[in-house]
Amino acid sequence: MKRKGVNSQIITLILVVSSISWGISSSLVPLFEGIDGISGVNEIESRPNILFILTDDQAFSTIGALGNTRIQTPTMDGLVTEGTHFTNAYVMGGSSPAICSPSRAMLFSGRTLWNLENQGQYGFEISAAYQTLFQVFLENGYNTFATGKNEPGRDGHFARSFNHADKVLFRGMTGSQYRLPLVSFSPEGDYSREREEIHTGTHSAEVYADAAIRFIEEQADSEVPFVAYVAFQTPHDPRQAPEEFQAKYSADEMVLPASYLPQHPFDNGMLQIRDEQLAGFPRTPDEIKQHIADYYAMVSHDDFQISRILNALKRSGKYEKTIIVFTSDNGLAVGKHGLMGKQNLYEHSIRVPLILVGPGIPKGEQRNHLCYIYDLNPTLCELAGIPVPGSVQFKSMADIIADPTRQHRDYLYFAFMYWQRAVRNERFKLVEYSVEEKRHTQLFDLISDREELHNLAGNPEFQQEVADLRELLLGEKDSQNDGNSTSEFATGQGTAFWQTYLNVKTSEVPQPSFEN
């Protein structure tokens, strides 16, 4: 499908993760100084393309330029050098063990966790009451393309969001990175299981990169702006990388994380989930080192595939007019705190990389502002000049991209199913657990203890911080609709947590010993 083009200059806007819409605020004028065709807020003569690349289960700590000296990520490192990266970008948590599904649903819809119908549960569609981020661009004259992992849902929101697609996975994961049930574009919007074709012999990351490259090449001579959504299903397990990438990492050379534990010190509600059974109980150092090596190999393989996509963009002549955004749908524990998965509210599982690169984006700069990756939704609306849908609840980061002295958020709220809630401010994070009629409390100083090794909740010197954050958390209960949603499913999760939390007055304060 080809739409009528515009005769103005096309700026390409890559997103290696998430965004939407049009209506540039005055704070964005500095971003576009020096770009032909943009001289003020009301003179939007150029329309950006967007290349949106999203990885799966990639923690903040998996990029060399962000402090990991053992991993090889030259492409991601280059993005950090060329652009602006965020050190406090988070996901909100999730309403199911498959965090990726609600996380992507929040990203696409712009709705917060308990204000999203079905909470983005796997297999459910995003309500037609909400314009998806890609739908907004499609309705504003863009070609929209998708390849790779799509969650949640299969038909409704996907069909109304994309007019191009190739090699799409409508599954949460696959049993092998080399055997993929994929669906191609359907003009009729038919993405049923009956249309799946099994693709074998090529690694998933390469399959999706190839599809993205073909689309970019097809668009090279087009004046119609495009959005290309490239959603890798890696480094999510199964942890299979090509041999040349496996060879880069020996388990013997891996170092255990500072927060390594043989087992989690108490029941967090999710200790028997599939992810936690990827390693034995208790965890052993050798086993965790092998998992880390395999995980790093997959990240490096993704890094290489991203370089292929960016090289294709350069060949197309659009790279210099491209804004790049990179992020992931959630992080992963891989042995930290005795955990393997992401069904928790520790930093390793909710904090993710976020990088922006391109025209008007400061080079080599860092932003420490608290943000959600879902804030990219209205941010891209502003960057592109499309009105932000009224249903969007997240907050644009356009101001802080242009001016680091601006304030963004004072605190963040997190939730995981029936059992865990958390809030963090600039310095402290409070995590509360309600499991089997028991409460546990953790307080971490994220300035001095980013690895969350020292629980301060029982320290008399920090009781005011505990009290203040508990008050903030209770306030978020109502403002986030936590336990008050119109969804019976969501109400059940919130009610279960808060019933125990409010009725059980004594909270245990676990103090694990980290000796690595």
Contact 415, 421 (CB under 8 A): yes
Give Cα separations from 249 to 133, 137, 141 (angstroms): 38, 41, 45
pTM score: 0.91
The per-residue pLDDT for 322 is 76
The per-residue pLDDT for 34 is 38
Contact 229, 146 (CB under 8 A): yes
Among candidates 374, 313, 336, 346, which has minimal Cα distance to 86?
374
The per-residue pLDDT for 289 is 99
Q: What is the dihedral of CA 297, 298, 300, 302, to 10 degrees?
A: 170
Give Cα separations from 33 to 51, 257, 387 (angstroms): 22, 44, 21
Among candidates 157, 158, 160, 156, which has minimal Cα distance to 138?
160
Strands 84-86 and 365-367: parallel
The per-residue pLDDT for 37 is 37
Q: Which amino acid is at 156?
A: G
The per-residue pLDDT for 22 is 34
The per-residue pLDDT for 492 is 66
Distance from C-alpha of 30 to C-alpha of 63, rounded to nearest angstrom: 29
DSSP helix/strand/coil, 23: coil
Contact 338, 263 (CB under 8 A): yes
Identify the bridge partners of residue 330 per DSSP, sorted by sequence position: none
Distance from C-alpha of 376 to C-alpha of 399, rounded to nearest angstrom: 12
The per-residue pLDDT for 61 is 98
Average pLDDT per consecutive 10 residues, the chain (516 residues; last block may be shorter): 38 44 38 39 59 96 98 98 96 92 93 78 75 91 93 81 95 95 91 92 98 95 90 98 98 98 96 95 98 99 98 93 90 98 98 90 95 95 89 96 97 96 99 94 98 97 98 94 67 77 88 74
Contact 439, 508 (CB under 8 A): yes
Contact 169, 29 (CB under 8 A): no
The structural domains of the chain, ordered by start, are 10-402 (3.40.720.10), 412-508 (3.30.1120.10)
